[in-house]
Each structure stands twice: as structure tokens, then as C-alpha cells.
Amino acid sequence: MRTTRRTFVRASLATAAATLLPISLRAQEGLPARRAIPSTREEIPIVGLGTWITFNVGNDPVLRDECARVMAAFFEAGGRMIDSSPMYGSSQPVIGYGLQKLGRPSALFSAEKVWTSSAAAGPPQIEQSRRFWGVPKFDLVQVHNLLAWKAHLQTLFQMKATGAVRYVGITTSEGRRHDLIEQIMRNEPIDFVQISYNVVDREVEARLLPLASERGIAVIVNRPFRQGALTQRLKSEPLPKWAAELGVSSWAQLILKFILSHPAVTVAIPATTRVDHVRENLAAAAGPMPDLAMRQRISAHVKAL
Amino acid sequence: MSEWWTYRAEDFLLFSPRVYWRMFELHNAALWPLHVLTLAAGLIIILLVARRPKPSARWLALILAIPWIFVGWSFLWNRYATINWAAAYVAPAFAVEGVLLLVIGSLRDGLAFDRRGLAGWTGYLILAFALAGQPLLAPLQGRGWASSEVFGIAPDPTAMATLGVLLLARGRLLPLLLPIPVLWCLLSGLTLQTMEEPQAWAPYAALALAAAAWIWTIIRRTADIMKENRT
């Protein structure tokens, strides 16, 4: 099922009701637009920074500095959410290195994950991750790919109750286990759900995105460029002339605007190793967003290529 | 992990090709000029195999065992594991291969390097490629010498050289020495293939050649036994 006018308007209204904010993105001059996390109404810039593969650079001092420069550009452009996982190799210590180098920016919204099949190993893993980042506590901890989700959610809800973490979430990627994701969204008081969504992978529009709006759950979108494969595929194609109406200068920006214009989406987290790309991504969070007709136009155009 | 069938090899690749090859550059820079010593050790292995004096089997196994233990510790454990957590589980296997070489090599009649014929020549070919061909792949693919993979320093040429040596060997316990180098060549080939690196053919080709030579040897031996039984 694709987004129809009815489901789009319904999702928009549900999001507005949940957040008590206007649907239109209120971008200030040059700054990325923000959206509210439904459970607290705290506003957050709609483009974050993913670290899957890109920040896994081991102990390489040159590449660590490169990652720190990407983080610096991200914060300078108004970004806040950085997302990682214990599964991502050395990404966590590399983030910690960057944060230390940048003087621990107060804007940081730290999004981490717990990823272990053992319930008992969850809390020590979260503590280890916190040490890697060098933060007093995480803003958000998510159960990665629903691994041992019942036990970890219990741990995370307890941590939230004691103030050790601010938000709790679950994640999946590339369309896996959507039935279970839906079940958890319906039955557990989670703040965030992280899913894959882009102009060609639109399955979540049918049930998960409307459900997130209905239940007041913030949505993080991972793999917006299909891990670079989508932008790579479109690279040789000219950007359509009508894309200028949205103020975009690249396929990456057009794809991001498509994702961000869905009213149920709170943050998209593209990953990159390049400073110019991180600036370009955050620039896509400002300016006009596609309406339903434009979204259909973007989708049809990409499909036809 | 549920819905495992929906995962592709790319989903398990945690790093980019750039980071992978930079890791070899840093590793080589940190260990230089140890490469001269490990290559010399490789040449000594060829000489010992070619001369075939029986007591040399013990020394040959020792010379081969040290690189396995060293590469497992210095490359897999200290370096590769920082970008691929699975490497921390593979590193002990390299130590096991080293210990197996030491133990089996020190046993009386543990290993004898007297195999010739097709299997033997294939062994020499793989051994020569591991020592002299593999280090050339980096400059040939435009990455420069800095990220070259050298026997005794990097895992691929070490595993391939071992396959070559084992093709030249005979021994009751020889099958115990095969699984770890074979599995490493498979794993490395899969990693390189997932990164879309053309040199994935190298570990795959070493495996295919070794398998073909072993199969040929088994067929020949079976045919000889049947012939003897008939006469």
C-alpha cells in the first residue's frame, strides 16, 4: 500500500494532535527544521547522523580525525541526534573521540542501542557504550533489531523510571520483522521506533508510520539512501528540473526531503564520511518540503529511472 | 537472529574498503622491516621442502607455526578486531593452527615433505604466489605498496602459503592442519567479494587449486590400490 491522500492527511492530523505543533516544518533561516518527540514534545532537528560503517575506522588516527570533522560540521549546521550501536565495530569509541575533541557539544542528542541476546549482559553493555561515548547518560537507548527485546525493554523502562535514560525505543532495518514491531508499538510504552524508509522502500507507509502517529511514537529513519546504493544508482541521472521548486541541488537532498515530508517521520539519520555531504544533508532539512502531489511525483520519477 | 534468510553478506560487512586497506597500511608501517624476515622465512620453507631432509620437517613446521600465532595476535586480535568484532573469535583459531603445526611437526613421522607430482607442483605454485604474487596485488590495483599483504604479516598470504606447504606434505595427522587455512581463505574471499574487491579471486583460486590437487591425488591413489589388488 502506498500513501494516499487520505492516509497522508490522517497521519498528518494524528502527528499534529500528538505533538500539538503545526504540521508544516518551521524552518528558521538556514537552520534545519525541527519536529517534536511526541511523548515529551521536545523538539529535535529532523536530520541526524548515522554511524553504521562510516564511523567504524578502528584506531586509524587520520580517519578518526575525519570523523571528528564530520561531527563538527554536523553540529555547526544545527544537527543534534547521533545514532550508534555496539554492533558497529569501533563507531562508539570514535564518536567518543570526536565528542572529546569538540569539547562535548551540549547540543548532542545521543541515541544508542543495546544488542545482546543475554538479558543480564544488557546493563553492562549499555554502561560500556556510555563510557565509550563519554556522556553522563544516553538520551535514547533502543533495542537493536529486537534482539531479546522483552528483557531489554524491561531494563530500559526501569532505567527511564530512574532517570538513567530519557527515551526508550526499538529498531529494525530493511523491512525485517514488521509484524513484531507493530505488536510492540501497540502494546509497549516506547518513545521511539527506528525503521528503514526511502523513496523505493515504502512498506512502512502502510501500517507502521500511521500507527506511530496514532500511538505518539517518534520515528527514526535509517538507511535513507539504502546504504549509498540509491544515490549511487541515481548519480548518472540528471536531477529533474522541477526539483528546483524544493530548493534541492542533489539526489541525496531530494530523497531526504521525500522521507522528511512524511508527517510521521521525526528524524532521518543518513551516515557519511564527508563534511560536504553532512552539510548537504542538513541543508535538506531546511526550506520547502514536498506536498503529497510532489511526493507522488518524486516516487514516480525515481521508479521510472 | 530470526529471519536469517533475509540477510545478505553485505549486512555483515561492518567497514568500508577504504578502512580495510588503510588497516594494512598502518599494520605494515608499524611492523616494517619485519617483512624482510618473514619473507626470508618463506624462502627457507621452500628450500627445506625442496631439499627434503627428514629432520627439516620439525623446523619447517616451527617456521610456519610462528607466523600463524604472530598474525593471529598482531593483526586479527590487535588490529582487525577493532573494526570487525568477529575477528576476535577468529584470532584464537590462528593460535590453534600454530600450536597444531608445532605439535604435529614435532611428532615422529608427523609430517614428511616428500610429495611430488601434480599435488606437489600445485603446492609450489600456491606457495610461490603467497610469497611473491600476493604482495603485488596492492600496487597492481592502484593502492600502492603500503597496503601490500605479506606472508607472516597478513593473514591471506600466510593461510595460502600453508595450503601450499600442506599440499607438499604427507602425514597421518595432516587433515587436522587443513580446516583453519581453508576456512580462512573462504572467509577472506567472501569478505573481499562483498567489498566488490577483484582480488577476492586470490584466496578462492588457492582453495580451488588445492582442492583439485587433493582430489586428483585421492583418485590416483585409489586407482593405484585397485591396480595392486588386481595384480
- Asked if the structure places residue B50 within a domain, the reply is yes
Residue-wise DSSP of chain B = --SGGG--GGGG--S-HHHHHHHHHHHHHHHTTHHHHHHHHHHHHHHHHHH--TTHHHHHHHHHHHHHHHHIIIIIITTGGGT-TTHHHHHHHHHHHHHHHHHHHHSTTS-B----HHHHHHHHHHHHIIIIIHHHHHHHTTS-GGG---BTTBHHHHHHHHHHHHHT-B-TTHHHHSHHHHHHHHHHHHHHHHTT-GGGHHHHHHHHHHHHHHHHHHHHHHHHHHHHHH-
Give a yes or no: residue B150 inside a domain: yes
Beta-carbon separation of A273 and B26 below 8 A: no
Chain A residues with beta carbon closer than 8 angstroms to that of B83: 56-58, 89-90
Question: A67 exposed, middle or buried (CB, 10 Å; 0-12, 13-18, 19+)?
Answer: buried
Nearest to B15 among A56, A145, A177 (CB): A56
Helix axes A208-215, A178-187, angle to 10 degrees: 10
Residue B231 inside a domain? The answer is: no
- Please identify which residue in the block is written with the cell numbers 518527540: A37
The answer to whether residue B54 scores a pLDDT higher than 80 is no
N-term to C-term CA, chain B: 58
- Nearest chain A residue to B23 by CA: give it: A60
pTM metric for this prediction:
0.89
How many domains is chain B built from?
1
A63 close contact with B: CB closer than 8 A: yes
Note the pLDDT of residue A282. Answer: 97
Whether residues A176 and B23 touch (CB distance < 8 A) is answered with: no
Contact B15 A63 (CB under 8 A): no
Burial of B221 (0-12, 13-18, 19+ CB in 10 A): exposed
B6 and A174: CB-CB below 8 Å? yes
Domain that holds residue B58: 23-221
Terminal C-alpha separation, chain A: 21
Q: What is the band of B221 on the pLDDT scale with cuts at 50, 70, 90?
A: confident
- Provide the ipTM: 0.88
For residue B98, give how far its alpha carbon lies from the nearest alpha carbon of chain A (Å).
Answer: 26
pLDDT, tens only, A166-197: 999 999 987 789 999 999 999 999 999 999 99
User: Does A178 reach chain B within 8 Å, measured CB to CB?
Assistant: no
pLDDT in tens, chain A (305 residues): 455 555 555 555 454 444 433 333 444 567 899 999 999 999 999 999 999 999 999 999 999 999 999 999 999 999 999 999 999 999 999 999 999 999 999 999 999 999 999 999 999 999 999 999 999 999 999 999 999 999 999 999 999 999 999 999 999 987 789 999 999 999 999 999 999 999 999 999 999 999 999 999 999 999 999 888 899 899 899 999 999 999 999 999 999 999 999 999 999 999 999 999 999 999 999 999 999 999 999 999 999 98
Q: How far is CA A35 from CA A26, A165, A220, B54, in A?
A: 8, 20, 11, 76
Kindly state whether residue B128 falls inside one of the protein's structural domains: yes
- Helix ranges (H only) for A21-165 are 61-76, 91-101, 122-133, 149-162
Nearest C-alpha in A relative to B16: A53
| Å between B136 CA and nearest CA of chain A | 24
B213: in domain: yes
DSSP state of A199: S
Please judge whether A177 and B2 are an interchain contact, meaning their C-beta atoms are less than 8 angstroms apart.
yes
Site from A51, A55, A57 to mutate, B interface, most B CB atoms within 10 angstroms: A57
Q: A87 touching B, CB under 8 A? A: yes
Average pLDDT, chain B: 93
Residue B227 lies in a domain: no
A interface mutation test: which of B6, B19, B21 has the most A CBs within 10 A?
B19
Strands A34-37 and A42-45: antiparallel
Task: Tell me A87's DSSP state.
Answer: T
8 Å CB contact between A200 and A303: yes
DSSP string, A108-126: -EEEEEE--S-TTTHHHHH
Please, what's the b/e burial string for B110-142 (b: 16 or more CB within 10 A of its CB; e: otherwise)?
A: bbebebeeebbebbbbbbebbbeebbebbeeee
CA atoms within 13 A on the CB side of A21: 23
- Which residue, among A274, A64, A72, A300, has the nearest Cα to A199 in the 3D structure? A300
Q: Vertex A289, ends A284 and A292: CA angle to 5°?
A: 140
